[in-house]
Amino acid sequence: MCGIIGYTGVKEAQEIMLDALEILEYRGYDSAGLAVCGRDGCVRIRKCAGRVKDLRLLCEKDGIQGTCGIGHTRWATHGGVSDANAHPHKFGRVTVTHNGIVENYQDLVQRYHLEEKLKSQTDSEVAAAVLDHFYGTDPLAAIRKTVLKLKGTFALSIMFDDIPGVIFAVRNVSPIVIARARSGSMLASDVTVLGQYSREYFVLPEFYVAVLKEDGVELYDMAGETAEPEWQAVNWDVDRSSKGGYPFYMEKEIMEQPQVIRETVIPRIQGGIPDLSEDGIPDGLLADCKRICVVACGTAMHAGLVGKALMQSLVRIHMDVELASEFMYTDVIVDEDTLVIAISQSGETIDTLEAVKHAKKNGAKTLAIVNVRGASVARASDYVIYTNAGPEIAVASTKAYTTQLAVLYLLTGRMAYVRGIFGAEEAKAFAKELMRVPEVMQKVLDRKEEIHYIARSILNAQDVFMMGRGLDHAILLEGSLKLKEISYIHSEAYASGELKHGTIALITEDTPVVAVVTQEKVKSKEFSNIKEVQSRGAGVILFIKETFGPEKEASWENVFTSVFTLPAMEDGFMVMPASAALQLLAYYVSLDKGLDVDKPRNLAKVVTVE
Ligand code: F6R
Beta bridge mates, 37: 43, 68
Give the Cα separation of 380 and 399 in Å (integer). 24
Does 583 sit in the ligand 1 pocket, CB within 6 Å? no
Confidence of residue 352 (pLDDT cuts 50, 70, 90): very high
Parallel, antiparallel, or unpaired for β 540-545 and 562-566?
parallel
Per-residue confidence (pLDDT) for residue 77, from 0 to 100: 86
* Residue that wins the pLDDT comparison between 28 and 492: 492
Give the Cα separation of 326 and 243 in Å (integer). 35
- Closest by CA to 229, choosing from 239, 217, 240, is 217
* Residue that wins the pLDDT comparison between 302 and 376: 302
| Mean of pLDDT values over 241-262 | 93
pLDDT in tens, 300-339: 999 999 999 999 999 999 999 999 999 988 888 899 999 9
Confidence of residue 237 (pLDDT cuts 50, 70, 90): low
Q: How far is the CA of 392 from the centre of ligand 1 (A)?
A: 11
Query: What is residue 371's DSSP assignment?
Result: S
Task: Write out the H or E segment, with its range, that includes residue 111.
Answer: helix 105-111
pLDDT in tens, 388-410: 999 999 999 999 999 999 999 99
Per-residue confidence (pLDDT) for residue 552, from 0 to 100: 59
Does 300 sit in the ligand 1 pocket, CB within 6 Å? yes
Tell me how far the alpha carbon of residue 505 is from its chain's centroid: 35
| Mean of pLDDT values over 101-122 | 95
| Mean of pLDDT values over 152-167 | 96
Does 349 sit in the ligand 1 pocket, CB within 6 Å? yes
pLDDT in tens, 439-483: 999 999 999 999 999 999 999 999 999 999 999 999 999 999 999
| Mean of pLDDT values over 519-532 | 94
Residue nearest to atom 9 of ligand 1 (CA): 298
Residue nearest to atom 7 of ligand 1 (CA): 396
Total Cβ atoms within 10 A of residue 149: 18
Per-residue confidence (pLDDT) for residue 553, from 0 to 100: 59
The domain 251-435 belongs to what CATH superfamily? Glucose-6-phosphate isomerase like protein; domain 1 (3.40.50.10490)
Does 352 sit in the ligand 1 pocket, CB within 6 Å? yes
Beta bridge mates, 73: 3, 32
- 438: cis peptide before it, omega within 30°? no
**Does the active-site annotation cover 605?**
yes
**Does the active-site annotation cover 545?**
no
Per-residue confidence (pLDDT) for residue 182, from 0 to 100: 81
Q: What share of the chain has pLDDT > 90, as a percent?
A: 86
Per-residue confidence (pLDDT) for residue 195, from 0 to 100: 80
Choice from 26, 346, 384 to test ligand 1 binding pocket (greatest atom count within 8 A of CB): 346
Confidence of residue 608 (pLDDT cuts 50, 70, 90): confident
Asked whether residue 550 carries a pLDDT value surpassing 80, the answer given is: no
Residue nearest to atom 16 of ligand 1 (CA): 344
Per-residue confidence (pLDDT) for residue 41, from 0 to 100: 85
Concatenating the DSSP letter of every residue in 210-259 gives EEEETTEEEEE-TTS-EE----EE--S-GGGGS-TT-SSHHHHHHHTHHH
| Mean of pLDDT values over 505-511 | 94
Those residues whose C-beta lies under 8 Å from the C-beta of residue 56, and which sit 6 or more positions away, are 18
Give the Cα separation of 281 and 604 in Å (integer). 32
Residue nearest to atom 11 of ligand 1 (CA): 298
Domain boundaries, the chain: 3-234, 251-435, 440-593
Give the Cα separation of 174 and 206 in Å (integer). 9
Under CATH, to which class is 440-593 assigned?
alpha beta
Asked whether residue 243 carries a pLDDT value surpassing 90, the answer given is: no
Query: What is residue 187's DSSP assignment?
Result: E
| Mean of pLDDT values over 116-130 | 96
Asked whether residue 586 carries a pLDDT value surpassing 70, the answer given is: yes
Choice from 325, 349, 478 to test ligand 1 binding pocket (greatest atom count within 8 A of CB): 349
Q: Compute CA distances 296 → 458, 479, 481, 547, 573, whole Å.
A: 30, 17, 15, 34, 22
pTM over 0.85: yes
Mean residue pLDDT of the chain comes to: 94
Parallel, antiparallel, or unpaired for β 209-213 and 269-270?
unpaired
Asked whether residue 132 carries a pLDDT value surpassing 70, the answer given is: yes
Does 69 sit in the ligand 1 pocket, CB within 6 Å? no
Confidence of residue 158 (pLDDT cuts 50, 70, 90): very high
Q: How far is the CA of 187 from the centre of ligand 1 (A)?
A: 23
Asked whether residue 236 carries a pLDDT value surpassing 70, the answer given is: no
> Helix (H, G, I), strand (E, B), or coil: what is residue 318?
strand
pLDDT in tens, 274-303: 999 999 999 999 999 999 999 999 999 999
Q: What share of the chain has pLDDT > 70, as a percent?
A: 98
Please count the CA atoms within 13 angstroms of the CA of 89 that sit on its side-chain side: 27
Does 297 sit in the ligand 1 pocket, CB within 6 Å? yes
Q: Do domains 3-234 and 251-435 have the same CATH topology?
A: no
Asked whether residue 130 carries a pLDDT value surpassing 70, the answer given is: yes
Per the CB < 8 A criterion, the answer to whether 206 and 172 are in contact is yes
Q: How far is the CA of 254 from the centre of ligand 1 (A)?
A: 15
Confidence of residue 571 (pLDDT cuts 50, 70, 90): very high
Per-residue confidence (pLDDT) for residue 241, from 0 to 100: 66
Per-residue confidence (pLDDT) for residue 554, from 0 to 100: 60
Q: Name the catalytic one among 365, 399, 599, 605.
A: 605
Out of 3.60.20.10, 3.40.50.300, 3.30.360.10, 3.90.1150.10, the CATH code matching 3-234 is: 3.60.20.10
Does 299 sit in the ligand 1 pocket, CB within 6 Å? yes
Give the Cα separation of 194 and 5 in Å (integer). 10
Per-residue confidence (pLDDT) for residue 604, from 0 to 100: 84
Asked whether residue 551 carries a pLDDT value surpassing 60, the answer given is: no
Per-residue confidence (pLDDT) for residue 329, from 0 to 100: 85
Asked whether residue 186 carries a pLDDT value surpassing 90, the answer given is: yes
Atom nearest to 301 CA in ligand 1: 10
